[in-house]
Structure 1
C-alpha cells in the first residue's frame, strides 16, 4: 500500500514536470505603461520568445484576473462591456486594445502563458493611467439677493478629478480672483468661490465659472450664476426746465433708479417756498412752482427718494430772471404777458400756431393758382372734342378750311358798287412743309368772270386766299 502511494506521487510529479517543460521561455517584451484620457483608447502587447507547445496558450490578465480564452476572445461577465476589448495574436506577438476608456479601466494589465488552464509564465504588469475629464460644473448662489456694500459669495462646484481641473471665475472677459475650497474629508467635489462687495452696477450682472483640464487641451466647460440681484438705495436725478422767467411756471422732474423700486418722493426747499405756489404730480415726481417771483432766485430745491434699502437726495438751484423789453425785427416791443408767443432777443417774429396755419394756407392757395394756369390754357386753346347725341366722339381733321364772307368798299379801278369778298383760312399741322402747299385753280370761265367784275388774289396754304367778285 505504501508502494502504491509513492508510485502515484512520483507519477504526478513527472506529469507536472512534463507539463512545465515548455514554460522555460521568457517574455522578451513586456506591456508598457499607458496614459490616456477618459474616452480615449489604449494598446498593450507582449512578445514570448519561444513557440507554444500543444495545450499551451497566451492570455491577458486584468488586475490579476484572466480576461481572455483560448480563442482570443474576452470572457463574458469578466469585464465591463466586452465589446470595447479586442485581442490580436500574430506569431509570438500578443496584443490587447481597449476603446472608449472609462475611469474603471485604470488598473494593471499583463499577459501570461497557460497550460491546461494553469498559469505557467507571466509577464511584468503595466499600469493604465486614465486622465479624468470633469463633469459639468454647477454654479451656486449663496443668497437670493445681495445688499449693496455687504460681502457676497458665489460658488462653483467642480468634480475632484485626476489631474485636478483648472477653474476661473469670470465676468465678461475679465478673470476674477478665485479661491479653492475643498470639503472636509475625502470628497468627489471641490468648491471654487469668489467673494466681492457688490454695487448697483453689479445688479443683473452674470458671472461665469470656466473649467478646463490638462487631460484634454480642447476641453472647456462652464456654468453661469444667472442675473445677480443686488439691492441698492435710490440714485436720484433732477431734470429742470429751461431758464425761468419771472412769472413763468417752473416745472422740475425728479427721477430715481433703485432696487427695489423707490417707494416715496419728497421735496424740500431752502429757503421755504409758500405751499400755495407748489403743485405735485405723478406720485410727487413732478414739481410745479406757480408764478415764481424774483425773491425765489437761487432757492435750493431738494428731491429725496426712499426705498427699503435707504434714501438719497439731489438738488438744483432755481435761476429766475426778470423780463426785459426787447425789440424784434417787426419793430414790436416785448410784452411780458405775451412772452410765450414771442422769441428771444436773437430771433425775429415768433412762429406761433396761428402764424404757421396762415402760412400753410397761403402756400396752398398759391399752389392751386399755379396749377389752374395750365388747366385753363388747355381748356381754352386746346382742341375740343365734338360728340354725337349718343356719346360718340367725332374725329377732328388736322387740316380744315374756314370760309369767311364780307362786303368790301368800292376799290379804285373796279365798277362802282359794293364788292363781295370770300376769305378762306386754312389750318394745317405744324410739321407740314411749304413744299406740300397747294393752290386752287380757277376755271377759265371763272377767271373771265373775275376779270370782268374785279380781280383775284391767291395765297398759299399758309396765308389767305381771297376772291373778289
Structure 2
C-alpha cells in the first residue's frame, strides 16, 4: 500500500523538472539473522546525469548499483518504474546483526545534495532459549534474614521484561531492583524470611515485544530454617490412679534432634516413663498436683520449651464423670435423633423386604397358573388335520425317519435287531419306520437286504 501511494505520487508529478524523492523511506523491523530491505523512490531521475547513493549516518554505503562499503552482506538495486523518470532504489542487508540498527537515507549527489527522509532499521532480537535464569543468594536462610532472588536475561533490543511472582499468591511486595551489567539484564527480589516462606516456590516470567511467547524459570522448595515450636498436649482431665499420657508436639526446620522432660518438683523415676516426645505418668497421685512439667525440643538452630501444670482429680469424680457422660450421651438430642433415624431405617428395611417377597410370590403364581398351561396348549397339544371331505385324520405322536447305517471298520452296527433270515448283523443297513397309533403297545420293523452279486 505504501509503495502504491508512492507510485501514484510519481504519476501526478512526473511532469516536474527537478529531480527529487517522492516520499520518505519507510521504517523497517526485522529479526536478527534475517534480511532487511529499505527503499527510497525518485522522480524525474536521469540515470545518465544523476547519481544516487545509500547512507547510514555519515557513512556512504552505495552509489548507483554498486556497494562501496566493505560489507558483503549488502547489495543495491536501482530499478526503473513504469513512469517517466521514476525509479526505486533498494538496499538489501542479509544476516542482520544488532550493529545494523540505525538511521538510513538516500542522497542525490549533486550541488547542492538532495536527501530523502530517514528510515529507521530496527533489528529485533529474541532471547536465547537458555534464558531466563533464576538464582538465589544462599541455599539456606534463617528466619529473620534477608532472601535475595535474581532473574537474569540478555540485554537485547527490544529489551526483555522480567516479572517475579510467588506460586499460590497473586501479588508480591514491591521489593524489586533492576540492574544492567555486562550485556545482561537482571531483576532482583528481596524479602525478610518467615516460617511461612519455607518450601515456597517463586517464578520469574520473561516477555518481549519481539514475540508473544513467554519463558520462565523457577526457584522451588525455599529452605527457611527456624528453631522448634513446642506445645504440650494432654487429655482435659487427669485422674489419680490412672496412667496419663502427655505429648510434646513440635514444628521445626531442620527436624528436632532431642526431646527432654523436666519436673518441678522432681518426680521419682518410677512415677513416669519418658520416651522422646511421649511422657507417661504412672498412676499419678493427688500429691503430684501442681507439678510443673516442661518439654524441651532442640535442633541445629536452637532450643525451645513449653511448660504445663498438673491438675489431678480424684478417682471417684472420674467415675461419676464417666457415668454422667454416658447418661448425657444417651439422653442427648443428638443421640435421640440418631436412634430415631436408626429405627426409621430398620422399619424401612423391613418394609422393603416384605415388598420384595410379595413381588416374588406374584411372579411364581403367574408362571404356574398362566404361562405353563399356555405353553403346554400351544406347543404340546397334537394338531388336528382333516381330509378333503372334512373328516378328521388322526396324527400319531411317534414318527421315525429312515436311516442308513454302515460300518467301515468291520464292526457291526448293533443298534437294530438281527436280520430275520440269518440272525446276524450286517455291515450296511437301511431302516425305516412308519407312524404308529398311540394306543398300540407294539413295535414293528421292516428290513430290506440288498446284495451286490
Which one of 104, 116, 137 corresponds to residue 142 of structure 1?
Answer: 137
Instruction: Flag the 1:36–1:227 CA change in 2: closer, same or farther, 3 A.
Output: farther
**For residues 344-363 of structure 1, what are the structure 2 equivalents within 5 Å?**
344-347=326-329
2:316 is equivalent to residue 320 of structure 1: no
Q: CA deviation at 1:306?
A: 0.8
Aligned residues between the structures: 330
2:165 is equivalent to residue 170 of structure 1: yes
How far, CA to CA, are the matches of 1:95 and 1:295 in structure 2? 109
CA contact (8 A) 1:169 1:194 kept: yes
Corresponding residue for residue 267 of structure 1: 261
Which one of 297, 303, 315 corresponds to residue 311 of structure 1?
Answer: 303
Q: CA deviation at 1:122?
A: 6.9
Instruction: Flag the 1:204–1:258 CA change in 2: closer, same or farther, 3 A.
Output: same
CA contact (8 A) 2:40 2:116 kept: no
Q: CA deviation at 1:203?
A: 1.2
CA contact (8 A) 1:105 1:128 kept: no
Matched position secondary structure for 1:174? coil
Q: CA deviation at 1:178?
A: 0.7
Structure 1: give runs of 5+ residues left out of the alignment. 1-23, 327-333, 350-362, 383-394, 397-469
What's the TM-score once normalised by structure 2's chain length?
A: 0.55
Instruction: Flag the 1:134–1:233 CA change in 2: closer, same or farther, 3 A.
Output: farther
Instruction: Flag the 1:50–1:67 CA change in 2: closer, same or farther, 3 A.
Output: closer
Greater strand share, structure number? 1
How far, CA to CA, are the matches of 1:44 and 1:239 in structure 2? 80
Residue by residue over 1:370-400, the C-alpha shift from the partner in whole angstroms, topping out at 9 and shown as x without a partner, is 99xx9xxx9xxx9xxxxxxxxxxxx99xxxx
How far, CA to CA, are the matches of 1:285 and 1:223 in structure 2? 41
Corresponding residue for residue 285 of structure 2: 293
Corresponding residue for residue 105 of structure 2: 110
**For residues 169-208 of structure 1, what are the structure 2 equivalents within 5 Å?**
169-171=164-166, 172-175=169-172, 176-183=174-181, 187-208=182-203
Q: CA deviation at 1:324?
A: 3.0
Q: CA deviation at 1:310?
A: 0.8
Q: CA deviation at 1:248?
A: 1.7
CA contact (8 A) 1:67 1:79 kept: no
CA contact (8 A) 1:106 1:127 kept: no
Corresponding residue for residue 246 of structure 1: 240
Instruction: Flag the 1:53–1:105 CA change in 2: closer, same or farther, 3 A.
Output: closer
Matched position secondary structure for 1:173? coil
Matched position secondary structure for 2:328? coil
How far, CA to CA, are the matches of 2:77 and 2:149 in structure 1? 47
Q: Which has the larger radius of gyration?
A: 1
Which one of 18, 21, 27 corresponds to residue 20 of structure 2?
Answer: 27
Q: CA deviation at 1:289?
A: 0.8
How far, CA to CA, are the matches of 2:71 and 2:189 in structure 1? 47
Corresponding residue for residue 147 of structure 2: 152
Q: CA deviation at 1:237?
A: 3.2
Corresponding residue for residue 66 of structure 1: 62
Instruction: Flag the 1:179–1:159 CA change in 2: closer, same or farther, 3 A.
Output: same
Structure 2: give runs of 5+ residues left out of the alignment. 1-16, 332-345, 366-371, 374-453
Matched position secondary structure for 2:99? helix
Residue by residue over 1:40-80, the C-alpha shift from the partner in whole angstroms, topping out at 9 and shown as x without a partner, is 9976432323243459886655652239848xx9x997217
How far, CA to CA, are the matches of 1:102 and 1:109 in structure 2? 15
CA contact (8 A) 1:31 1:45 kept: no
What's the TM-score once normalised by structure 1's chain length?
A: 0.53
Which one of 233, 240, 250 corresponds to residue 256 of structure 1?
Answer: 250
Matched position secondary structure for 1:227? coil
How far, CA to CA, are the matches of 1:192 and 1:260 in structure 2? 30
How far, CA to CA, are the matches of 2:100 and 2:63 in structure 1? 13
